[in-house]
Amino acid sequence: MKSQKEKMLSGELYFAGDEELTKERLKARELIKKYNSIPEEQPEKLTATLKDLIPNGGKELVVQPPFFCDYGYNIKTGDGVYFNFNCVILDGMEVSIGSRSMFGPNVQIYTASHPLNAKERASLLEFSKAIEIGEDVWVGGNVTICPGVKIGNRAVIGAGSVVTKDIPDDVFAAGNPCKVIKKIEK
């Protein structure tokens, strides 16, 4: 029989209040609290704590505090990724981010979702869908990226957008819901 964590990581319905998952979220919250309270004048301490929180982060990962996530270990980045202030990643499933991608302030990335059926939702079960963000992507401030979305390489997502569907390579996309506005020349 699968554990609740195994169900979560495979995209099945799972109970987030499970003891193992709760313990892992609490561990992440302690690291988040620590990270968000470290002064900028202590870059070595910031880097070390961020590595504990996001062990699969690439070289030169920059995350401006405050920052929030569920687990941290499901966030995988390439090198030179930048997050501005007040970003949130609900990483019940993998969030993969390519090298040199940048995120404006208040970006929200959600792998977590809930059943549409009210009775099923009342069971307190939820599910997650992986998110994949390519290389050299620029995500403007206040963007929400919904579960299961893939954003292509070199795409630009306009500020305030809600990304509900996949976005291809080399486009500028914006809006609610986010749609391709134009192709970007390479």
What is the mean predicted confidence (pLDDT) over 13-23?
Answer: 96
pLDDT (0 to 100) of residue 15? 96
Q: Looking at the domain 4-183, which fold is it?
A: UDP N-Acetylglucosamine Acyltransferase; domain 1 (2.160.10)
- Give me the catalytic one of 114, 129, 150, 179: 114
Q: What would the pLDDT profile of 24-42 be if each residue is shown by its tens digit?
A: 999 999 999 999 999 999 9
pLDDT reported for residue 40: 92
The answer to whether residues 156 and 173 touch, using CB atoms and an 8 Å cutoff, is yes
The pLDDT score that the predictor gives to residue 17 is 95
Q: What is the pLDDT of residue 152?
A: 98
**Can you read off the two tokens belonging to residue 52?**
């504990």
Mean pLDDT (the chain, rounded)? 97
Q: How do the domains of the chain map onto residue ranges?
A: 4-183
- pLDDT > 90: what percent of the chain? 98
Can 146 be counted among the known catalytic residues? no
